[in-house]
Amino acid sequence: MRVLITGVTSFLGVYTAKQLLSEGYEVIGAVRPDSKNQDVLEERGITEEPKYQTVYMDFDQLPEAELGEEHFVEFLERNEDDEPIIDAWVHFAWDGIGSAGRENTDIQIQNIENAKKAYIMAKVLGAQKFIFAGSQAEYGDGNHRSPRPISPYGKAKRAFGRWATEQSLLSQMYDERPMQFLHTRIFSVYGDGDHKTSLVNTVLKGSLKGTPVVLGPCAQRWNYLEVRDCARAISILLQSDETRTDVYDIAGSDSRMLKKFVQEMNEIAGGGAELEFGTRSNNAEGAANMSPEILKLQRLGFHQEISFEAGIGELVKKKRMELEAG
């Protein structure tokens, strides 16, 4: 199976590429020509894999999505009788994922347009599945039946998901080679290589260095999944013959109050941090309070392999070694 990944240099993109390559997939990593993160592919050993190749893609150079598939066919100089070039497309590429970017409407609107271009490109290239990395932010203060995203980030992810779902269902009715749209809503993922300012890294740093950690109330219900388990979930979605155009929550099996997770992190790392709960306000997404529905994913064969305790323990060992090395 040949899979193209946009956002391959991202935290999730790197681990997904590594997982797919370990299973024998051919992986094409789409990278922006001016990407500052390309080195991570070499650092993680991805570029050394014989079944991996990098292609450079600038969404600004692609036709506008509203022009339709025929303009993309012309752009790629392909005709409708060509054999499929890829089997699936996994779309991680999304700007403005930090606190400020999540509130930036202009950035999020551009993300929608770029995702639409990716979807049409995937269809023209013959993909049978398009996997979109959505977010728990799409639920906001709503629920699975009635999502109510709060931030422009969550609203944009949901807006693209609704557009692509409609396109996929129409494709199933009218096209000889329809493309499934698998809308994953990914809950909180952690692991080695995550952003230095993530909550997990912030708490572990405070604990290991014995410094205070300023936190929000952390009263919302939360869920964590180690990044390698997330990559395995995506691989299962690619392989399964039982998928359909639908929403799939990707999350762990343990949901509880965020405060409990934070306290456990601190304990695993030695308990050196003074946890100052309620000092900061909630982030752009507000105080979401819900548990994921992972039954659909479990029916396809997914199960969490790395417990929160084991995953955090592994991170702590690595960070201790880094501190000792100076």
Q: Predicted confidence band at 137 (pLDDT cuts at 50, 70, 90)?
A: very high
CA 242 from centroid of its chain's CA atoms: 21
Structure tokens at 209: 């260095």
Cα→Cα distances 133→18, 115, 249, Å: 17, 10, 10
Domains annotated for the chain, with CATH where assigned, are 2-188+225-250 (3.40.50.720), 194-223+254-290+306-325 (3.90.25.10)
Q: So what's the pLDDT on residue 76?
A: 63
Average pLDDT, the chain: 92
Cα→Cα distances 296→114, 132, 252, Å: 28, 16, 13
Instruction: With a cut of 50, say whether residue 79 has pLDDT above it.
Output: no
Interval 231-280: pLDDT, tens: 999 999 999 999 999 999 999 999 999 999 999 999 999 999 999 999 87
Q: So what's the pLDDT on residue 286?
A: 60
Place of tokens 């992190």: 265
Instruction: With a cut of 60, say whether residue 81 has pLDDT above it.
Output: no
Pairing of strands 221-226, 255-257: antiparallel
Instruction: With a cut of 90, say whether residue 283 has pLDDT above it.
Output: no
Q: So what's the pLDDT on residue 143?
A: 84
Contact by Cβ (8 Å): 200, 194: yes
Biggest distance spanned by C-alpha atoms of the chain: 64
Give the DSSP letter of residue 65.
G
Contact by Cβ (8 Å): 131, 237: yes
- Type of residue at 271: G
Contact by Cβ (8 Å): 286, 150: yes
Distance in angstroms (rounded) separating the CA atoms of residues 114 and 68: 14
Check: pTM over 0.85? Answer yes or no.
yes
Distance in angstroms (rounded) separating the CA atoms of residues 17 and 268: 30
Angle at 252 between CA 250 and CA 256, to 5 degrees: 120
Instruction: With a cut of 90, say whether residue 78 has pLDDT above it.
Output: no
